Amino acid sequence: MANHKSEIKRAKQNVKKNMRNKAVKTRIKNVIKSVRAAIEEKSKDTAKAAVITAQSVLQRASQKGVIHNNTASRKISRLMQAVNAIP
């Protein structure tokens, strides 16, 4: 356990940040899962709508520093490629 006042404060901040980051990461996973499901069904319209939502969520997460900018770009790119490959 933290002994100094600043350490106690830092521990509390870390708990809050951890909960916030976990929520954002869970949202990312769920959104990507919905895009993948739409791709599996081969419904291009649904997949395009889901990819736009996923792009927004990923970019917001990278702006907040939850994930790296390049990671967000890579995930968006791969999802777009998969959607565009739907006949």
Average confidence (pLDDT) over 17-22? 96
Catalogue the long-range contacts made by 59-64 (C-beta closer than 8 Å, 24 or more residues apart): 60/24, 61/24, 61/25, 61/27, 61/28, 64/24
**Residue 75 domain-assigned (yes or no):** yes
**Residue 23 domain-assigned (yes or no):** yes
Q: What is the pLDDT of residues 22-43, one digit of tens each?
A: 999 999 999 999 999 999 999 9
SS3 43: coil
Displacement of CA 6 from its chain's centroid (Å): 31
Identify the domain containing residue 57 by its residue range. 10-84
User: Which residues have C-beta within 8 Å of that of residue 45, sequence separation ≥ 6?
Assistant: none
Question: How many domains is the chain built from?
Answer: 1
Percent pLDDT > 70 in the chain is 100
23: CATH: 1.20.58.110
**Residue 4 domain-assigned (yes or no):** no
Q: What is the pLDDT of residues 38-62, one digit of tens each?
A: 999 999 999 999 999 999 999 999 9
Average confidence (pLDDT) over 72-87? 96
Q: Whole-model pTM?
A: 0.85
**Residue 1 domain-assigned (yes or no):** no
